[in-house]
Amino acid sequence: MSETRTPAGRALHAGDAPVLVFDSGVGGVSVARAIRAALPGLPILYYADLAAFPYGDWDPAALTHHCVGLVRELVATHCPRALVIACNTASTLILPPLRAVLDIPVVGTVPAIKPAAQLTRSGVVAVLATPGTVRREYTFDLIERFASEVAVTLVGSRGLARLAEERLRGGVVSREALLAEIRPCFVEKAGRRTDVVVLACTHYPLLLPELREVAPWPVTWIDPAPAIARRLADVLDLVPGGSQAEISGPAAPERDRILCSNDTDLSHLLALIGESPETCDAGLARHV
């Protein structure tokens, strides 16, 4: 059976064509706000697949089938100019099949292992991810290619993404629960200890202020969102921080939209996308 490619439609080059940011839940907000900061004139269509959350426990073949079908439908319906998969777990599986069938740029989110290997001074780093991501061959390949001389601890958290979702709903996240999820990242070996932690799930940066507070010792936390925004700017041939004139139409935030695969009301997230990461971190509960 031959593959058919899904076109972006006539709106691809129109001023109102958004970038589609796709995630299993609200974690991709950390990516969407980085895109907004870097490309203020670019409208964002955010899709949260909460009906299927969390992706980390899915069978790989089933998740690939689900996500590829859903994303193709979204692209055909909404005609985005580009697609950002704001989910590490999904990206490690679906980037090749999506790029094979879509006629728009596809930007993924993969564990920032190369930057971690470059930043570490102790030679001991941790990758904090979902159970699915830490099992992927894609992750092992990144370690072999970019961190073969570094001691890498892979930590598959089962609860941290849910804690981030709870925080965005205005819930209280206990320090004990957070510490239990991140403690395996903090390793001491032969007088050396972890000094870099890769946040390999887009939910996790939403908890970064709390993670810094409960960490057993100070480390460098790598949030992939700014790099994703820069990559998007590159594939769209836009200048990060450029003027609104680069993209025609009304101010982008007025055209932002959020869709969800169940009936959850996520309208409050529009305010978070428009805020700077620093402001957003300081005042998440204000919007829920």
Catalytic residue positions, numbered: 87, 201
Element (H, E) at 193: strand 192-193
Token reading at 6: 């899904």
**CA-CA distance, 67 to 73, in Å (whole number)?**
10
Where residue 241 falls (left for φ over 0; alpha for ψ -120 to 50; beta otherwise) is left
**CA-CA distance, 160 to 90, in Å (whole number)?**
17
Token reading at 79: 């005609």
SS3 141: helix
User: What's at 177, amino acid-wise?
Assistant: A
Contacts of residue 85, defined as CB under 8 A and 6 or more positions apart, other chains included, come to: 22, 23, 71, 91, 94, 95, 98, 106, 107, 108, 109
Alpha helices, DSSP H only, in the chain?
29-38, 60-78, 88-101, 113-119, 131-135, 137-146, 160-168, 175-182, 208-214, 225-235, 269-274, 277-282
C-beta neighbour count of 265 within 10 angstroms: 8
